[in-house]
Chain A
């Protein structure tokens, strides 16, 4: 195992976060605060409790998941796309590092950054509402598994994309709608039966629901089904990455 290689990639990626602190950390915190002010305080005060939880508290897991997903994808995709764009990827491809080591370095850093952001948002939320976390370990499991799987998805996007438009198309046109329609700000009970069924096809619903269960023990789907789904998604993404390096898809000609 080339542990120095993994650490080199990991540290390099983390140092990029330090250089772009405002974009990486400050901006999402401000955006989240705005969500709390608008949804939690202004609109939330007119909404009844959801499942025995105040609306402001109800949306916390959804907001964390929204940021975790988008941040994991953007970190993961940018981490590998940028060397491709700049041409510095030659060094990674010619280095004595295996697929697993490259993934550990890039995806590990992307997931670490996303998790850090998730915890910062959790702290920010605690400034606005009284937080209760019923199952901290399950919460941690959801946060870690989600950060890793979506950083992997981002990594795949970064390899697939050959321009900046492609890089942003999936997060903007696929992930954000899925998060908004995945019960981040509402319970699927509030939807008509037809749309409740449609929602079950939205993978993000399982993530938000599972994370919300770890907080308040209320969920749209069984927590173990949620956990199983995110594990399955992680395996699929990892399989894809292994295939990419095996075939050299968009990396080695």
Chain B
């Protein structure tokens, strides 16, 4: 896994086997640096929530070691837990309590003395100050999600876990959440979020981890990952439909689609030679004219789907350079 200069979270060979025999985590190792935003991607049941729960003390690891800011999560649980804030996946709130009281409760629970001014700052930052005296049951789903974030921030944590923070949240609120996450990072908070939404990872993460079947398939800088695994496609809309590709173009990775009216050439944009010039020359020689062309870059989603689908081949194979 990647070496991080100043890891605030260090996980070594973490395994979790549930009593039923299900291996939720298999030798997961991970280091996260101070102030990073790391997105953990993975399909349902991949082990994302188990990983977060193990770090936070909700799930007992079967083996392995976790440290937060150098403190062991078992031996120094008071220290590590007071450094962590957790926003759970489910909207689990004390329905009949007011917003202010429930957030104040969380601060006390995490061992911090009452500080109404801090609670006010948190609630204001999350646009909840006007709702401070409202019972949580009266709030919308999006507001409840903000309350959970406020609870997690009430004790001024250094590390914040967001377990699918934007699940079931509309687009505008999702963008608000991203803004909040960025602001938190600016204030020095390290953020680890799990998500199903690739665009979320693409939008806000510094690094992306992919978990599948309890294994950390990869953890990589987002930009590097996209460069490393990203492929480009050149699409050519033909003037005349082709029935089949001429033999002279057989050496190029070409697909003929749209009833022979579109040629797709897949290439690696980071290669020294992309052979685009040769392809265009070949088309000219074969008398194939085109009226439009465009290129597209594979998204993180494509990369993710490829990784998860290819996981059955084994993680070692996946981690190798493409």
Contact = CB atoms under 8 A, between A and B. Distances in A.
18 contacts: A2-B78, A2-B111, A4-B111, A5-B110, A5-B111, A8-B105, A9-B109, A11-B105, A12-B94, A12-B101, A12-B105, A87-B90, A88-B94, A90-B86, A95-B81, A96-B77, A248-B60, A253-B19
- Interface majority SS on A: helix, strand, loop or mixed? helix
Contacts of B108: 4-5, 7-8, 11
A251 to B, nearest CB: 9
A200 to B, nearest CB: 41
A4 B112 contact: yes
A62 B81 CA distance: 46
B56 to A, nearest CB: 4
A152 B113 CA distance: 27
Nearest to B84: A94
A126 to B, nearest CB: 34
B60 A252 contact: yes
B95 A86 contact: yes
Interface string A225-253: 00000000000000000000000100011
Nearest to A86: B92
B18 A253 contact: yes
B58 A93 contact: yes
A243 to B, nearest CB: 15
A15 interface: yes
Interface residues of B, number: 35
Contact of B113 (A4, A12, A88, A96): A4
A92 interface: yes
Contact of A88 (B92, B104, B112): B92
A94 B151 contact: no
A91 B110 CA distance: 9
Contacts of B77: 96
Contacts of B88: 87, 90
B45 interface: no
Interface string B198-214: 00000000000000000
Interface in B74-121: 77-79, 81-82, 84, 86, 88, 90, 92-97, 101, 104-114
